[in-house]
């Protein structure tokens, strides 16, 4: 347990910051040419590149960019749209509580993709997210071929993967002792099926 705590604290220090039976919709192939300067390459593996493009910039500090993610085969030059985020006026949380299981959402409702972490190439699976409410970091798990998405109940970001292939997320909670107040770190470890398999609370280390 102490080893897990030290590993998580080290990763935290690095990354602190703000039932349908229908066949899944196919990935949309781009019909118009796309130049290199239309998107930033954020991931590459073999002959595949993933690019991120801002299609509509944030209007003010309370807004977020609308982002489109593309894939491009560098050999055949085939291009596909993977995802385009949508603005969600309801995303305005003072506190986003953590949870024990991923929550399914429509694939075309993901509101933010300020960061992208590719987990698997085949099938293409990734974590996307960002901070749309100026306080909490919202994260989403995407399975691109099946066009399925899940909201991840954590509020302070994706930390990475364990040696066992589990996903580590950071959250904050409020101290239960009203005489102390303040926040403390709560680490969540999920499997690829979106189930919480372990966690680490640092509330007992809270001294102020």
192 inside domain: yes
Whether pLDDT at 144 is above 90: yes
The model carries a pTM of: 0.79
E strand segments, the chain:
28-29, 40-45, 48-56, 66-73, 79-84, 103-105, 115-121, 124-130, 138-143, 148-152, 158-161, 167-174, 183-190, 196-201
176 inside domain: yes
Nearest-10 Cα torsion for 107, 108, 112, 113: 70
47 inside domain: no
Domain range for 179: 155-208
> How far is Cα 156 from Cα 18, in angstroms, rounded to an integer?
7
- pLDDT computed for residue 206 by the predictor: 64
Nearest CA among 61, 117, 65 for reference residue 86: 65
Structure confidence by residue, pLDDT tens digits, 48-101: 999 999 999 988 877 889 999 999 999 999 999 999 999 887 766 677 888 999
Whether pLDDT at 11 is above 80: no
Q: Name residue, tokens 């749309």.
A: 132
182 inside domain: yes
The average pLDDT across 201-208 equals 76
127 inside domain: no
205 inside domain: yes
Most confident segment among 9-13, 57-61, 163-167: 163-167
Structure confidence by residue, pLDDT tens digits, 14-38: 444 453 334 444 433 333 333 444 6
- Domain count for the chain: 1
Of residues 132 and 140, more confidently modeled = 140
Nearest CA among 108, 64, 114 for reference residue 89: 64
122 inside domain: no
Radius of gyration of the chain (CA): 18
170 inside domain: yes
The average pLDDT across 171-189 equals 87
Instruction: Quote the mean pLDDT of the chain.
Output: 82
């Amino acid at each position: 347990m102490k080893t897990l705590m030290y590993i998580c604290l080290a990763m935290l220090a690095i990354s602190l910051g703000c039932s349908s039976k229908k066949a899944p919709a196919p990935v949309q192939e781009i019909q118009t040419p796309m130049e290199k300067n239309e998107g930033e390459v954020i991931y590459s593996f073999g002959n595949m590149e993933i690019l991120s493009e801002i299609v509509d910039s944030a209007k003010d500090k309370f807004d977020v960019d609308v982002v489109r993610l593309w894939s491009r085969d560098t050999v055949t030059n085939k291009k596909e749209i993977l995802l385009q985020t949508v603005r969600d006026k309801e995303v305005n949380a003072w506190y986003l509580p953590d949870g024990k299981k991923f929550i399914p959402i429509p694939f075309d409702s993901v509101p933010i993709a300020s960061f992208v972490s590719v987990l698997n190439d085949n099938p293409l699976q990734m974590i996307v997210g960002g901070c749309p409410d100026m306080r909490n970091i919202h994260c989403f798990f995407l399975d691109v071929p099946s066009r399925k998405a899940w909201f991840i109940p954590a509020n302070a970001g994706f930390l990475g993967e364990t040696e066992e292939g589990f996903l580590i997320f950071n959250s904050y909670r409020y101290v239960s002792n009203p005489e102390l107040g303040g926040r403390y770190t709560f680490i969540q470890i999920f499997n690829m099926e979106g189930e919480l398999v372990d966690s680490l609370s640092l509330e007992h280390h809270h001294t102020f």
